[in-house]
Amino acid sequence: MGHNTQLKPDPFYQFAQLWINDQSYPPTTLLMGHSIDDIKSRLNDFDGSAVQDALNIWVSKTTNFLNEVASPLVKNVQDKNPSMGNAYELSDMEDFFLTEQTIDGRTPGGDLSLAAIVSIEQFSRMNGLTGKKMQKIFKALVPAHVSNDARNLVEYCCFRFLSRDSSEIHPSLKEPAFQRLVFVTMLAWEHPYTNEKEFRDTIGEKASFQRKLVGEEAFVRIAPAISGLADCPTVHNIFKALSGGQKTISFQVWSKYIAELLKVYEGRKSYSVKEISLIPGERILCLGSSRKRPVLKWENNIAWPGKLTLTNKALYYEAIRLKGQVDVIRMDLTKLGSRVEKTRVGPFGSDLFDSAISVTSGPEFKPWVLEFVDLGGEMRRDVWYAFIKEVISLYQFIRDFGPKEHDQSVKHIYGAQNGYSRASTYAINGIARLQALQFSKKLLDEPTKLVLFSYLQNAPYGEIVCQTLAVHCWGGQLISRFKEIEYDDVRSEVYSSHVYDIDGGVYLRKWMRHSSWNSSASVAFWKNSSMKHTLVLSKNLVVADKTLVEKAAVMCRLKYAEVEKTQATIHAAMIEGIPSNIDLFKELMLPLTVIAKNFEKLRRWEEPHLTVSFLAFVYVLIYRNLLSYVFPVTLMVLATSMLVLKGLKEQGRLGRSFGKVTIRDQPPSNTIEKIIAVKEAMRDVEKYMQNINVSLLKIRTIILAGQPQITTEVALVLLCGSTILLTVPFRYIISFLILDLFTQELKFRKEMVIKLKSFLKARWATVPAAPVSVLPFNTVNIDAKGQKKVANDPPKLERTRDK
């Protein structure tokens, strides 16, 4: 970067700025027109130690400059020891840089913070202008309410410089000064304003931002604007990984992440595998082979170590042989039907080790079972699973949202022929970032959340984000007339118009083959995708607003947060242990239990006046033909109660613990007691299932005339019941049933009810169960031709059981 000399601090200039920038005491009036006491009181405002530090650093700079001038102009290339000047450069990076301030620090929104001034001035000079000129240009381009926001000015200065480069990863990231400038830009975006007192205090001391912290909102806004650092849909997950669950990140974490990312890109340049013949356009992304971290390929219950190579199109496996020629096998990941799954492996067909994946190019291909041994952790298998899944998801995205392979209409859209490479760049950069986070040991529990296309496959609103990515990749300026472009005959109404990007690029309607374009969410999103009062610098850089990808990503993130919150409540409700789950079930069923107990009290006439009132109310409903209103009124009461509780909870009148279910934990027990408890629970479940099966078998006997006499009796009872239902009005029948229910416990009927129940129980006991036959077990094998063969076991007697 050619502006390193402008990025150096000048502490002596800071000291001078205290005098020059002080508008309350102009320099001319400090020496003339004021008394000695005024001048002394004014001098007392300065920090003597800060002035001494500034002078010392200024003298040190001068000495280093003279030494640098006196040193030979031609230096030995082999000399790896840094010069005094370079040593000073390294130590000087500990303090932040300040340049001459040209921008007016006072804005309609307030006084600019030090970080905002530094960011605006530095990016303005990198754009070839001063901060004051950039501010004037920005005011001329946008409305007043946009230009008055200092955050928008910070975005404009930063994004204007970033829009000049469209490489895979921004070349300025290699410069430590640029890394620090971007970090301070995030601070400036987060806190663009400050008061005058804070501004003076900051100028008087070392302007170091080493201890400053950046929040998620600023990181999500600035980081995706820099090529290669982050993507809008996954940037919040990257921040979560870098922060380790905290709300902020430091400059050390930021610089380490960039350093590891640059190492990944530099390492890719050195990848060379002589045994692999890459096809045109194929790039090696990562290698999986080392002594401490071997890759094992399982086949026929035998594991063999080898070297694994992942490219942007395929997997290559090279088995390590003791002697002879090495064979390299290739698995294409671009085909339809390619998939990767996590699996278990182990000796003799067991599933002992949970550290493998299964990869296949389709149903007709034999899958590879690869085990990733990691002696230093447990995440290696998950990371490689994310790598391979991202490549497979990339080509699934191209098939769903991109033009067909030989579609000639891409020639009519400027830049559409590069859409495939743009989509590949998303996946390639995502895998590089995941590698950098892996080397930094900052990963999430699910690494697939850190790569773009794998994350969007399962994320809510992910298909809409994929649509915006497709428009970004294949959309462009139209270079032919619409009538010259061929369309398919059958189209949905949603295809009545093309889709346009924020820069005016068009995405043709004939490319909208995926079913998500027909969804209501998609129609609503594109209908409201217009932007007002914004400054568009490029497809992915917009000042004072969000790009289409950012808008869709925000909706995706909000919906995903709702899903995670709901899933967290579900996981919290899953209690281990049968007794604890029984207690939880009892607690949840408590309202119904209370209703059943109160109804039983009414039925037993424990409080006669309440029973009489209840029966009078029920009979009024029956004989006034009001039964049809009971269910709707019940729903209305339930809905009203829910809304009342909602309002009371929003007012905070129900307490924080309202709605929480509380149960008591079970007493501690050892392993033997747990085994005995599980055995008893299984015995109870078995007995319960046996009783249910016996009852079902008895019903089967009655229906299928296993006992003709009992079947005849039951059929006659059913006929009599149906005759009564057909001839007698329903309200009389239900009145009789209610009267019978509420008089069973009375003295004049109690003995008769007991005799009836005993008679029915005795008759049920005499009903035999249907016979059950248990056939011998047959082993089914599949031969090499895919035909089933049934192994004939030795003949066994058929077991027949009668209940």
Assess whether 644 and 717 both reside in one domain: no
Nearest 10 degrees: Cα torsion 153, 157, 163, 165: -160
Range of the structural domain that residue 707 is part of: 700-803
> Average pLDDT, stretch 302-317?
89
Under DSSP, the state recorded for 80 is -
- Of the pLDDT bands very low, low, confident and very high (cuts 50, 70, 90), residue 65 is very low
The reported pLDDT for the residue numbered 425 is 93
- Of the pLDDT bands very low, low, confident and very high (cuts 50, 70, 90), residue 200 is low
615 phi/psi in degrees, rounded to 5: -65, -40
Residue 681 in domain: no
Instruction: Report which secondary-structure segment, H or E, holds 74.
Output: none
Assess whether 803 and 723 both reside in one domain: yes
> Average pLDDT, stretch 324-346?
86
Q: How many CA atoms lie less than 13 Å away from 161 in the CB half-sphere?
A: 28
> Average pLDDT, stretch 351-359?
88
Distances (CA, A) of 54 to 66, 87, 201, 238, 498: 19, 19, 15, 39, 61
Instruction: Report which secondary-structure segment, H or E, holds 587.
Output: helix 578-588
| 3-class secondary-structure state, position 799 | strand
Q: Are the beta carbons of 119 and 184 closer than 8 angstroms? A: yes
pLDDT > 90? residue 338: yes
pLDDT > 80? residue 22: no
- Of the pLDDT bands very low, low, confident and very high (cuts 50, 70, 90), residue 435 is very high
pLDDT > 70? residue 145: yes
Q: What are the pLDDT digits (tens) for 464-483?
A: 999 999 999 999 888 876 55
| 3-class secondary-structure state, position 359 | strand
- Best mean pLDDT range from 73-77, 429-433, 531-535, 704-708: 429-433
Q: Which of 628, 764, 778 minimizes the C-alpha distance to 698?
A: 764
Residue 704 in domain: yes
Assess whether 771 and 706 both reside in one domain: yes
> Average pLDDT, stretch 407-426?
89
Dist. CA 251–CA 95, nearest whole Å: 13
Q: Are the beta carbons of 168 and 10 closer than 8 angstroms? A: no
Task: Please give the structure tokens belonging to residue 578.
Answer: 């049968």
Residue 798 in domain: yes
Assess whether 802 and 705 both reside in one domain: yes
- Of the pLDDT bands very low, low, confident and very high (cuts 50, 70, 90), residue 39 is very low
Residue 586 in domain: no
Overall number of domains in the chain:
2
Residue 734 in domain: yes
pLDDT > 60? residue 414: yes
Which of the two residues, 159 and 668, has the higher pLDDT score?
A: 159
> Average pLDDT, stretch 779-794?
50
pLDDT > 50? residue 334: yes
Residue 541: count other Cβ atoms within 10 Å of its Cβ: 20
pLDDT > 90? residue 562: no
3-state SS record for 437-454: HHHCCCCCCCHHHHCHHH
> Average pLDDT, stretch 364-371?
91
Q: How many CA atoms lie less than 13 Å away from 270 in the CB half-sphere?
A: 6
Q: Which of 50, 41, 63 minimizes the C-alpha distance to 12?
A: 50
Q: Which of 610, 478, 457, 477 minimizes the C-alpha distance to 539?
A: 477
- The mean pLDDT value of the chain amounts to 79
Which of the two residues, 400 and 12, has the higher pLDDT score?
A: 400
> Of 14-28, 156-170, 225-239, which gets the smallest average pLDDT?
14-28
Dist. CA 294–CA 435, nearest whole Å: 17
Q: In the chain, count of helices (H) and strands (E)?
A: 28, 21
The reported pLDDT for the residue numbered 3 is 42
| 3-class secondary-structure state, position 410 | helix
- Of the pLDDT bands very low, low, confident and very high (cuts 50, 70, 90), residue 785 is very low
> Average pLDDT, stretch 590-612?
89
The reported pLDDT for the residue numbered 52 is 55
Residue 48, judged by CB atoms within 10 A of its CB (0-12, 13-18, 19+), counts as exposed
Q: What are the pLDDT digits (tens) for 240-262?
A: 999 988 999 999 999 999 999 99
Residue 465: count other Cβ atoms within 10 Å of its Cβ: 28
- Block residue for tokens 């209690």: 575
> Of 4-8, 98-102, 481-485, which gets the smallest average pLDDT?
4-8
- Name the β-bridge partners of 540: none
pLDDT > 60? residue 792: no
Residue 69: count other Cβ atoms within 10 Å of its Cβ: 9
Assess whether 640 and 719 both reside in one domain: no
Residue 726 in domain: yes
Task: Please give the structure tokens belonging to residue 614.
Answer: 């209840």
Size of the chain, expressed as the number of residues it contains: 803
Q: What are the pLDDT digits (tens) for 256-283?
A: 999 999 999 998 888 876 667 788 888 9
The reported pLDDT for the residue numbered 70 is 40
Residue 765 in domain: yes
Going by C-beta distance under 8 Å and a sequence separation of 6 or more, which residues neighbour residue 279? 313
Q: Which of 729, 713, 500, 722 minimizes the C-alpha distance to 623?
A: 729
> Average pLDDT, stretch 287-301?
79
- Of the pLDDT bands very low, low, confident and very high (cuts 50, 70, 90), residue 759 is confident
> Average pLDDT, stretch 642-657?
82
Dist. CA 156–CA 179, nearest whole Å: 18
Distances (CA, A) of 217 to 179, 186, 191, 429, 567: 18, 9, 11, 22, 24
Which of the two residues, 79 and 504, has the higher pLDDT score?
A: 504
372 phi/psi in degrees, rounded to 5: -110, 105
625 phi/psi in degrees, rounded to 5: 55, 45
Q: Are the beta carbons of 669 and 578 closer than 8 angstroms? A: no
pLDDT > 80? residue 29: no
The reported pLDDT for the residue numbered 83 is 37
- Of the pLDDT bands very low, low, confident and very high (cuts 50, 70, 90), residue 153 is very high
- Of the pLDDT bands very low, low, confident and very high (cuts 50, 70, 90), residue 99 is low
Dist. CA 774–CA 543, nearest whole Å: 75
> Average pLDDT, stretch 444-450?
91
Domain boundary among 633, 650, 667: 650
The reported pLDDT for the residue numbered 287 is 87
Q: Which of 406, 560, 540 minimizes the C-alpha distance to 469?
A: 540
% of the chain surpassing 90 pLDDT: 33
Apex 565 CA angle, 562 and 568, nearest 5: 150
Residue 599 in domain: yes
- Of the pLDDT bands very low, low, confident and very high (cuts 50, 70, 90), residue 685 is confident
